[in-house]
Each structure stands twice: as structure tokens, then as C-alpha cells.
């Protein structure tokens, strides 16, 4: 596999270069509260803080739009491209690796593919170019061939959007995707614009997840299929780097809302005033959170540039030291050495 970036071209004319690091919003795992405008998620506070500085991409859930848990998209989306997720995360028992609490999943039976289509049909695609994600329901598992067929049929009516096919485990007793099945059917994936997999369903270790990303990327390359791989639920700085070096190019997650990025790491936000010289320990928690969100957005932009620089540098791991943590290049190189050694076996 030759490491590369590529252009993601939207029917509207918007073009974004990969890698793409997408700040996500979801009501799941966050408190719902009663306001003058109805029941809203506490992430509306973060939306208010971030709306002026998020420029490239953002991910929101059609489920949250349907239940009106967010602000009106007209009032906060100013990005070039919006990823409109299908609501499977909000209605499942699934949590991404960044989750630290499990008490508020906001699950409801009031969600299905018809409601998803209603939200997509209401979407102002001329004002807000968007990527839509195929529908999934954790209660129903299907063979890959059926997943592909149903997703292709679903996307047929939405030519004004880019199409992100989310591959799921095929049976109820499977926690992970069947990478053998996917690689055997790789030619059937060429009709989609993006191939998505959740981080948790890739495998049972960082190494296994890297290996499976790499197998899929190699299979796509051999088949001449120039579409990027999207890892859902992965916006941690370290693993996003490793997954990118393995062949993925699009990453989204809630880590940027739950932690603070500092020196290339995701840390406990309350430690930010102690470590970051720009914030004092007298700063209120509310203001620390606001500063953290701002800094995280700028960090993601920096991380994207560093990944591009790495590709253009003929894979000089010292490039990663620009992220702040002076030893991060060595750490990444060590992990990649283990990965490459395993690939040779």
C-alpha cells in the first residue's frame, strides 16, 4: 500500500482533501435538559462555542435532528461539508472508546429508515452540502451482500449527496466485521463514495484494527477503487494517526468534546489549566471547557496538516513531533514497526 491523500468531491462542487478529521455532535452520553425551546442536549453549549470556528466538516445525527435535540442547523452549520449520520449510534447499546459514562443512551424505539429518509428529504442540500450514511440497526444483522444491496438501493434516490456505506457485523453473535467477506466482495463496493466501519467493530486490539484497515485498503487499491475509508468513533490523536498510516483517511468522534488535546495527546480536561500556560488554574470550569473546545478544533486542523506533511516527507516520523509531545514520532514509528513486522509473517 502506498500512503496517499485524495480529493473527496461533492456533487455541489465542494472538494475536500483527505485526511478529514470530523468533529461530531451526538446527544448520546450527554444530558438532556428542558429549555424554553423544548428538550435539548447539553452539547448545544458546545455547538454555540464552536459554530464560529468549525470550517471544514462536522458530523451530526439525523436522529438528533428528528427529536430536535440540537440547535437548528441553519443557526450553527457553516462548514464546507456536513456528515449526516443515520442514527444507528444513538439508538444502539454501542459506545465508542472515548465514552466514560453509560447512564444516558437516549435510546428510543421511535427511529427507523423511514424517519431517516424524512430527515434527509428535509435537508437543505443546496445550502449545506452533505454526506449521508447508510441506515443500520443493531437488532438486525445481515449478510454483507444484503447490506451492500440495501445501501445501494437506499442511496439511489439521493444523487445530491455523497454516500457513506457503513459496513456492520453480519450476525448477531459477531462483535466485529468479517474482513475476509469484505475483501472477497470488494468489487461490489465501487458504487459508494466512502466505505465506513466503526472503530469498535474493526477488531479486538489496536494492531488488529490497523491490520484490517490495511487489508481493506490494499483490496480496494488492487481493485482500482479510489474511495476513502471512514473510521467512525475515532478522533483520538494517537490512534487516528495509526489508522491513517494503515490506510484510513476519514475519522470522526466525540473525543474533542470529552477530552482536551494537549501535546498530541487526549487528556482529562480539568488538567488543562495546570499544563497549558495559556490558561490559569483560577479559570472557571466553564471557561476551561470553552477554551478546550477552541484549542481542540485548531489542533485537529494542525493534525491534518501534519499527516499531509508526513506523506510528503517520504515518511519522516519526526514530522509528528510538531504536535508538541517531543517523543511522539518515536512512539508512532515503534508501533508501525510492530505492525510492519506482523504483516511480514
Domain boundaries along the sequence of the chain: 7-314
Banded model confidence at residue 102, pLDDT cuts 50, 70, 90: very low
Backbone phi and psi for residue 275, each to the nearest 5 degrees, phi listed first = -95, -35
Pairing mode, if any, of strands 162-166 and 194-198?
parallel
Q: What is the pTM of this model?
A: 0.95
pLDDT at 2: 83
- CA 212 from chain centre, in angstroms, equals 17
Q: Determine contact, residues 232/197, Cβ cutoff 8 Å.
A: yes
* Average of per-residue pLDDT across 275-290: 94
What is the CATH superfamily name and number for domain 7-314?
Queuine tRNA-ribosyltransferase-like (3.20.20.105)
Backbone phi and psi for residue 15, each to the nearest 5 degrees, phi listed first = -125, 125
Give percent above pLDDT 90 in the chain.
88
In the predicted model, what is the mean pLDDT of the chain? Answer: 93
pLDDT at 97: 58
What is the tens place of the pLDDT at every residue in 317-343? Answer: 999 999 987 789 999 999 999 999 998
SS3 of 40, please? strand
pLDDT at 195: 98
What is the tens place of the pLDDT at every residue in 229-275? Answer: 999 999 999 999 999 999 999 999 999 999 999 999 999 999 999 99
Beta bridge partners of 61: 85
What is the tens place of the pLDDT at every residue in 34-50? Answer: 999 899 999 999 999 99
Closest by Cα among 186, 68, 63, 173 to 120: 63
Amino acid at each position: 500500500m502506498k500512503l496517499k491523500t485524495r480529493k473527496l468531491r461533492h456533487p455541489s462542487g465542494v472538494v475536500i482533501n483527505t485526511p478529514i478529521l470530523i468533529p461530531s455532535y451526538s446527544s448520546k452520553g450527554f444530558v438532556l435538559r428542558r429549555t424554553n425551546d423544548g428538550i435539548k442536549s447539553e452539547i448545544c453549549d458546545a455547538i454555540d462555542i464552536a459554530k464560529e470556528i468549525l470550517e471544514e466538516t462536522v458530523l451530526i445525527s439525523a436522529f438528533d435532528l428528528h427529536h430536535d435535540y440540537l440547535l437548528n442547523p441553519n443557526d450553527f452549520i457553516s462548514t464546507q461539508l456536513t456528515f449526516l449520520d443515520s442514527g444507528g449510534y444513538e439508538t444502539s447499546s454501542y459506545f465508542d472508546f472515548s465514552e466514560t459514562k453509560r447512564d444516558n443512551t437516549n435510546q428510543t424505539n421511535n427511529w427507523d429508515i423511514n424517519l431517516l429518509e424524512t430527515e434527509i428529504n428535509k435537508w437543505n442540500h443546496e445550502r449545506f452540502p452533505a454526506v449521508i450514511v447508510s441506515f443500520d440497526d443493531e437488532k438486525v444483522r445481515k449478510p454483507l451482500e444484503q447490506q451492500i444491496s440495501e445501501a445501494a438501493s437506499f442511496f439511489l434516490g439521493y444523487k445530491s449527496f455523497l454516500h457513506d456505506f457503513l459496513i456492520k457485523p453480519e450476525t448477531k453473535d459477531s462483535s466485529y466485521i468479517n474482513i475476509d467477506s469484505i475483501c472477497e466482495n470488494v468489487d461490489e463496493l465501487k458504487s459508494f463514495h466512502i466505505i465506513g466501519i466503526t472503530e469498535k467493530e474493526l477488531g479486538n486490539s489496536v494492531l488488529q484494527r490497523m491490520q484490517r484497515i490495511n487489508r481493506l485498503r490494499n483490496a480496494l487499491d488492487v481493485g482500482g477503487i479510489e474511495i476513502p475509508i471512514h473510521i467512525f468513533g475515532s478522533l483520538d490523536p494517537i490512534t487516528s494517526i495509526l489508522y491513517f498510516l494503515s490506510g484510513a483517511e476519514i475519522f470522526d468522534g466525540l473525543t474533542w468534546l470529552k477530552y482536551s488535546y494537549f501535546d498530541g495527546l487526549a487528556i482529562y480536561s480539568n488538567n488543562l489549566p495546570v499544563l497549558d500556560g495559556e490558561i490559569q488554574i483560577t479559570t472557571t470550569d466553564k471557561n476551561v471547557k470553552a477554551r478546550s473546545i477552541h484549542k481542540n478544533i485548531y489542533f485537529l486542523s494542525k493534525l491534518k496538516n501534519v499527516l499531509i506533511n508526513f506523506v510528503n516527507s517520504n515518511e519522516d516520523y519526526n514530522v509528528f513531533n510538531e504536535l508538541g509531545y517531543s517523543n511522539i514520532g518515536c512512539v508512532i514509528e515503534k508501533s508501525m514497526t510492530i505492525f510492519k513486522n506482523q504483516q511480514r509473517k
